[in-house]
Amino acid sequence: MSLESTIATLQAKCVAESEENTKSGKGYGHDPLVCDPTKLSSYSYAGSTLVGIQKDLAEKQNEIAAEQKYYPMEMLYVIALGIVVIAGLPWSWYFCCGGFVS
């Protein structure tokens, strides 16, 4: 299961829990839970203590941010290197083996 689908599932559960708490008057009364993963992620960096489903959402969002921070650039370098190698093969063959043909 990907991190994005996990966040979508957690977000749906958070919204459902928020609606349930709002209707029943539990929790903080009529104030709904914050279920936006990016906002919760910034709250967790600010030192705010999150609990329950909000903590899970913030952790998964932080994992996605960390993954997107490093891996896309690495993949671009691998693709660029592959293009250079493929484009350089005919030239290297011509210059390295050109003397053998003559």
Give domain status of residue 12, yes or no.
yes
- pLDDT tens digits, 5-28: 888 898 889 888 888 877 777 766
Position 67 confidence tier, pLDDT thresholds 50, 70, 90: confident
Residue 61: its pLDDT value, please? 87
The answer to whether position 89 is within a domain reads no
pLDDT average, residue stretch 78-95 = 90
- Using N-to-C axis directions, what is the helix angle for 52-101 and 3-24, rounded to 10°? 170
Domain encompassing residue 24: 3-69
Give domain status of residue 36, yes or no.
yes
Based on the structure, what is the number of domains in the chain? 1
- 21 found inside a domain: yes
85: helix, strand or coil: helix
**What are the tokens at 27?**
């929790």
For the chain, how long is the longest CA-to-CA vector?
90
Report if residue 96 sits inside a domain. Answer: no
What pLDDT, in 10s, does the model give residues 50-64?
888 888 888 888 888
